Chains A and B, each alone.
Chain A
Amino acid sequence: QQPVQSPQAVILREGEDAVINCSSSKALYSVHWYRQKHGEAPVFLMILLKGGEQKGHDKISASFNEKKQQSSLYLTASQLSYSGTYFCGTELGHGSSNTGKLIFGQGTTLQVKP
């Protein structure tokens, strides 16, 4: 039931782009994305509800393909501050509503070098 993230780790130079993928074996109600810095709590990036929407703010965006049960997080023109571990969280649906059970993937470690 735990979503699968790929890749497990990414090393970038400043200004480069990255894509982090998240896939589930079950139909999803929503997908969350969070970033966690070492020693800190996870911080919310965005949530995508079923409907195949795409969201973004600044140079970070995400897509959600409901049929494929997949979501991708896009980081463009990466900055040093983007370093951290990225987690996708998936929530299953129950009819037209959500179950309330938000399960996270194992994380993708992103390191941005100068």
Chain B
Amino acid sequence: NAGVTQTPKFQVLKTGQSMTLQCAQDMNHEYMSWYRQDPGMGLRLIHYSVGAGITDQGEVPNGYNVSRSTTEDFPLRLLSAAPSQTSVYFCASRGQEHTGELFFGEGSRLTVL
């Protein structure tokens, strides 16, 4: 099993550009989430989903959109990138009726110039 797969691993954007970070899991987990990690700030929850068709906001949702059309995929969209969105992004999933451990992807490093 591949687990949680994120693409791309690295991306450089210019201010105002849009892009989508892809996340896919092959563990049939209903729960998926996106975090961003900045130095000294820990992991901050952007959006999460408890199943296909259901999404909810986390701590820092502004500037990001998500959708969950399938159980496997949970893409994160930046519609108009800003330098403040320079960060490392982690996608994670969990099973066991949402009470199990989080399985993280390897991360995507995004730089917005």
Judge whether B98 and A98 touch: CB under 8 Å.
yes
Among candidates B35, B59, B100, residue contacting A2 with C-beta atoms closer than 8 Å = B59
Q: Please report the C-alpha to C-alpha distance between residue A101 and residue B90 in the assembled complex, in whole angstroms.
A: 15
On whether the beta carbons of B43 and A42 are closer than 8 Å, the reply is: yes
The number of inter-chain residue pairs (CB within 8 angstroms) is 58
A residues in contact with B107, CB < 8 Å: 41
Contacts of A41 in B (CB 8 A): 90, 104-107
Enumerate B56-88 residues with CB–CB distance to A below 8 Å: 56, 58-59
Residues of B at the A interface (CB closer than 8 Å) are: 31, 33, 35, 40-45, 48, 50, 56, 58-59, 90, 98-107
Q: 21 A-B Cβ contacts within 8 A?
A: A1-B59, A32-B102, A34-B102, A40-B106, A41-B104, A42-B43, A43-B104, A44-B101, A47-B100, A87-B42, A89-B102, A101-B58, A102-B33, A103-B45, A103-B58, A104-B35, A104-B42, A104-B44, A105-B42, A106-B40, A106-B42
Residues of A within 8 A of B (CB): 1-2, 30, 32, 34, 40-44, 47, 49, 87, 89, 98, 100-107
Query: A41-B106, A41-B107, A42-B104 given. 19 additional CB < 8 A pairs?
Result: A2-B44, A32-B101, A40-B106, A41-B104, A42-B43, A42-B102, A44-B103, A47-B101, A49-B99, A87-B42, A89-B102, A100-B31, A101-B45, A102-B48, A103-B45, A103-B58, A105-B42, A106-B42, A107-B42
